[in-house]
Amino acid sequence: MFYSNVENFKSATGYEIDGIWYPRVTSIVSIKAKPALYKFYADQANFAGAEAIKNKSAEEGTILHETVEAILKNEQPAIPDSVAPAVTAFLDFKKQNEIIPHQIETRVVSKKHHYAGTMDCLAELNGQLGVLDIKTSYAIYRDYGIQTSAYVEALRENPSMPPLKRWILRLDQSRHCIRGCGSKMREKGGNIKIRPAKGVAASKCPHVWGELIGEVELRELPDIEKDTKAFLACKDLWIWENEYWLKQIFRSK
């Protein structure tokens, strides 16, 4: 990663809170290698094209994310057509589950470990309090455990905070093959990805894609201690990687 100067580094990788600069959870977590990303890049025509897809896809994810958070805040947001199936699936989920948001898009700070982050939501879900992280990805990846453990670890520094659960709420939308082979197709950032159903029938099927259908997946993440340990290991590595800039930030203090 290239930073032009220390101010650029500070704003790109952290937050200034009450005059103190803290590295950001998502920046720290990004230090971990993501092998699946190599495959994505290799599958594209060229690097610039891959970057364009990745950015467009992130933008689409942001629209869905913002719409859902606005709904959680009891606002009545306009629902963009592009994400309407996923939002509808979320509204169904909200009807079937009791969800009481306490904090949305809130900055959390660990003074003990010196980092900060913005968590999506601290909520009561069916009577249990926890950190709810909204993802708009293809699957629920293990890396999400590292990110969410950082929020819980920071919240735990408040002595009156009760024990917290962690959940990933994954929202997505895809088209199903109407010939009934069980395959799904999803388009993100203009990139078409087909997830074939297992079996010979699916590989031979001349798929015909139906309407976009929204999907919701809720998963509770176990093993917080393991994830917290992995997060703090990421943080150590992140500090090593950024030593040049961190020395400039903390030298003067």
In this complex, which beta carbon is closest to Zn ion, that of residue 113 or of residue 179? 179
d(CA 144, CA 51): 22
**In the complex, what is the shortest distance from the CB of residue 250 to Zn ion, in angstroms, rounded to a whole number?**
57
**In the complex, what is the shortest distance from the CB of residue 210 to Zn ion, in angstroms, rounded to a whole number?**
10
In this complex, which beta carbon is closest to Zn ion, that of residue 94 or of residue 207? 207
Task: Spell 36-60 as b/e; 16+ CB within 10 A means b.
Answer: eeeeeeeeeeeeeebeebbeebeeb
Cβ neighbors of 18 (< 8 A, separation 6 or more) are: none
In this complex, which beta carbon is closest to Zn ion, that of residue 56 or of residue 179? 179
Residue 107 to residues 27, 65, 76, Cα–Cα distance (Å): 15, 17, 24
In this complex, which beta carbon is closest to Zn ion, that of residue 52 or of residue 201? 201
**In the complex, what is the shortest distance from the CB of residue 188 to Zn ion, in angstroms, rounded to a whole number?**
20
**In the complex, what is the shortest distance from the CB of residue 237 to Zn ion, in angstroms, rounded to a whole number?**
44
d(CA 165, CA 154): 14
**In the complex, what is the shortest distance from the CB of residue 197 to Zn ion, in angstroms, rounded to a whole number?**
8
- How would you classify the pairing of strands 165-177 and 209-220? antiparallel
Please write down the long-range contacts of 153-159, taking CB distance under 8 Å and 24 or more positions apart: 153/110, 153/113, 153/228, 153/231, 154/108, 154/109, 154/110, 154/113, 154/115, 154/116, 154/117, 155/108, 155/119, 155/122, 155/131, 157/110, 157/111, 157/112
**In the complex, what is the shortest distance from the CB of residue 211 to Zn ion, in angstroms, rounded to a whole number?**
15
Q: Under the rule (CB under 5 A), what is the footprint of Zn ion?
A: 177, 179, 181, 183, 205, 207
In this complex, which beta carbon is closest to Zn ion, that of residue 156 or of residue 207? 207
In this complex, which beta carbon is closest to Zn ion, that of residue 52 or of residue 185? 185
